[in-house]
Chains A and B, each alone.
Chain A
Amino acid sequence: MVALITHSPILIIAIPLVAAFLTPLIGMASKKARNALVIVSLAFVAFLVIILARDISINGIHIYTLGATSPELTLPGGAMVPIRIILEVDAMSIFMGIIWATVSLAAAIFSLSHMAGETGQNRFYTLLLLMVTGGFGMMFTGDLFNLFVFLEIASISGAALIAFRTRFADAVEGGFKYIVISAVAGLIFLFGVGLLYAQYNSLNIGFLANAMQYSTLDIIALTLFLMSLTIKTGMVPLHMWYPDSYTVAPANITAMLVITSHACMYAVFRICFSLYGGVLDASVVGWIIVIIGLLTMFVGVTMAVFQTDVMRFMSYHAISQMGYMWLGVGVGLAVLGNPALDTYGRDAISGGIFHILNHAMYKPLLFMTAGALFHRTGTRDLNKMGGLGHNMKFTLILYIIGTLSIAGIPPLNGFASKFLIYESVYQFNPVLAVVAMLVSIITLASFTKAFQSAFTGPQLPEYKDVKEVPKPMLIGMGILAAAIIFTSIFPGLVVEHIVNPATDALINQAAYVNGIMGGGMP
């Protein structure tokens, strides 16, 4: 068991990778065995993530050096520079890992019946497991070039999954836009990595944080990193490709893609706090991120009220909710190094990170309910739907839970994280809290519009024999709804044990660097 915990970072990345390449072989023999392989490997990865999380909460940062004689040997033979690829898992990384494990398991169970009528399902599950690998690699790595490689793995498999149903013309167009944006963003990111390597001769984040002097080339590298990662999270004004791609994908793939864009946001935080932490011009970069957050929230939600396509509507809401996370963490970054960090900066970062957790639970749930509507009625257009609440009662209840959560209505978990953000951002600048509350109200308004169009009203004659969705889809949505209800009733437990350690790990750059540079042994 101890060996399992020690080697768990690489096992978490390697098991979906191996399972991805075994899936076509086993799928040729039997379909039930292939489905069982996918679900069992994702469940085992979730188990490994939970025991690794428990180990990190007891013992601190977990270092894994690939190919060394012992996993913590980062500086062998008294070397001054860490060699080999190093995976560094601290509390913030394992926080993202828990989210990714849960959502990918729920999405895989959902796809057992949602994709049941498609051809080429072997390739679908291979690509899904490859995307899981890419996501975990991005979250656990301690090395900039490794981040680039796993970012590209996740992007390529994500684009292929968006365009999977090639019989729809707009699905292929959405996939094409996703891969063009991801390719350009990845190449710009690689340019920035090259700039940093040219100056300091190392790719390791811990070593670079120690050796960083804030020269002109470093400023250009910071800009390239920021822009290339934030375009993939869908920040305004670079967001215009985002709804086109996320509308046309199968519903559970959109759920996983939202978490991939959270992983890109995690990479931005890792670069701003752990790589450039001490030398950054914190107030300027913090204010840039705060302005980004405000614009994103407002433009996202006002465009969302206008939509009539239910998946496009939810994609704009995903853009808008990311603005809350940028706002919370941006305020924390702007007061980094001030004594104000202790009064409200830490709570602002906690609010932003707690909002990542909450968003990762209710947004996939909402996308999956939209997928359930598409599965039974065959259309995504809200103008054509009506009165479906009479037939699809479970979907109705899950949709109501998701709506109350995203709009920030007590007692659900959306209110808990928005409460933290409002109360701490208000002390930084009152205008920010006012805009955030306004956006929350418009969110509720737009979800009420979709609820009225799709679910309420008299039962239309063309939908008289629409039945409830099959059981695997309900189980997939039920996992997320159970997580939402648990977080709603016990937010104190979640904040104290999962969110606050993540905040402290982000702010504490010295512990991150020490994990790498202090790991030498004779």
Chain B
Amino acid sequence: MIESPSGFWGPVVWIIAAIVALLIAYFIQRRGEKAYKKGVQSETFLMGNPKLSEGETHIKAHNIYWGFFEGLKKYYVPTIAAHTGIINDHLIWFIAGIAVVVIILFVTGGI
């Protein structure tokens, strides 16, 4: 158990509480519908659409968070353009970083 300035965290208590909650959920589920047929009633409901092959129903990685990227386009387009991959640009950032930190330290140090 670790202490922090405004609280504590004890994982053993959390795990016991989680196990109790899962047990309660399991017992509620056991009292459910007894006439359930596994397999037939859990097929995908396609509503008259043609059944696609396995490879075509899997959403590829780049299409998953499309809305997130569209919404943040103003942030993403300049940032991705800045990651050029040219080694000279990496060194420009390095030397500019040294200059900026030196200026900050001198201005606030008052020398």
Is A–B contact present in the complex under a CB 8 A cutoff? yes
Q: Which residues of A contact B (CB under 8 A)?
A: 176-177, 180-181, 184-185, 188, 216, 219-220, 222-224, 226-227, 231, 237-238, 240-241, 244, 281, 284-285, 288, 299, 302-303, 305-306, 308, 343-344, 347, 382-383, 386-387, 410-411, 415-416, 419-420, 423-424, 427, 445, 449-450, 452-453, 457-461, 488-492, 495
Interface residue? B98 (CB, 8 A) = yes
CB distance from B52 to the nearest CB of A (A): 10
- Measured between beta carbons, the chain A residues less than 8 angstroms from B7 are 423
Q: Is the CB of A495 within 8 A of B104?
A: no
Q: Is the CB of A386 within 8 A of B94?
A: no
Q: Please, could you name 11 A-B residue pairs with CB atoms under 8 Å apart, sorted by A? A: A237-B97, A238-B97, A284-B108, A285-B105, A302-B75, A302-B76, A308-B61, A419-B9, A423-B7, A424-B4, A491-B9
Please, what's the 1-or-0 string for B92-109, where 1 marks a CB less than 8 Å from any CB in chain A? 011001100110111011
CB distance from B34 to the nearest CB of A (A): 30
From A219, A227, A308, contact of B109 by CB (8 A): A219
Q: Is the CB of B68 within 8 A of A281?
A: no
Q: How far is the CA of A394 from the CA of B76 in the complex (A)?
A: 36
Residues 31-68 of B contacting A (Cβ, < 8 Å): 54-55, 57-62, 64-65, 68
Q: Is the CB of A241 within 8 A of B90?
A: yes
Residues 77-91 of B contacting A (Cβ, < 8 Å): 79-80, 82-85, 87, 89-91
- Measured between beta carbons, the chain A residues less than 8 angstroms from B61 are 308, 382-383, 449-450, 453
Q: How far is the CA of A459 from the CA of B54 in the complex (A)?
A: 7
Q: How far is the CA of A181 from the CA of B101 in the complex (A)?
A: 19
A383-B62, A460-B54 known; A420 vs B2 contact (CB < 8 Å) = yes
CB distance from A465 to the nearest CB of B (A): 15
From A308, A343, A450, contact of B5 by CB (8 A): A343
Q: A238-B90, A281-B105, A453-B60 given; name 12 further pairs at CB < 8 Å.
A: A180-B87, A188-B98, A219-B102, A284-B104, A302-B76, A347-B4, A427-B6, A445-B65, A449-B61, A491-B1, A491-B2, A491-B9
Interface residue? B15 (CB, 8 A) = yes
Q: How far is the CA of A185 from the CA of B89 in the complex (A)?
A: 15
Q: Is the CB of B11 within 8 A of A410?
A: yes
Q: Is the CB of A284 within 8 A of B15?
A: no
- Measured between beta carbons, the chain A residues less than 8 angstroms from B82 are 240
Interface residue? B12 (CB, 8 A) = yes
Interface residue? B24 (CB, 8 A) = no
CB distance from A279 to the nearest CB of B (A): 11
- Measured between beta carbons, the chain B residues less than 8 angstroms from A495 are 2
- Measured between beta carbons, the chain B residues less than 8 angstroms from A238 are 90, 93-94, 97
A238-B97, A302-B75, A461-B54 known; A181 vs B90 contact (CB < 8 Å) = yes
Nearest CB in chain B to that of A219: its residue: B105
Please, what's the 1-or-0 string for B1-36, where 1 marks a CB less than 8 Å from any CB in chain A? 110111101111011001000000000000000000
Q: Is the CB of A423 within 8 A of B101?
A: no
- Measured between beta carbons, the chain B residues less than 8 angstroms from A420 are 2, 4
Closest 7 CB pairs between A and B?
A382-B61, A453-B61, A458-B54, A423-B4, A411-B11, A457-B58, A386-B58
From A188, A226, A303, contact of B101 by CB (8 A): A226
Q: How far is the CA of A240 from the CA of B60 in the complex (A)?
A: 26
Nearest CB in chain B to that of A227: its residue: B98
- Measured between beta carbons, the chain B residues less than 8 angstroms from A347 are 4-5
From A226, A416, A489, contact of B12 by CB (8 A): A489
- Measured between beta carbons, the chain A residues less than 8 angstroms from B64 are 449, 452-453
Q: Is the CB of B5 within 8 A of A344?
A: yes
- Measured between beta carbons, the chain A residues less than 8 angstroms from B111 are 216, 219
Q: How far is the CA of A382 from the CA of B108 in the complex (A)?
A: 48
Q: Is the CB of A415 within 8 A of B105?
A: no
- Measured between beta carbons, the chain B residues less than 8 angstroms from A222 are 105
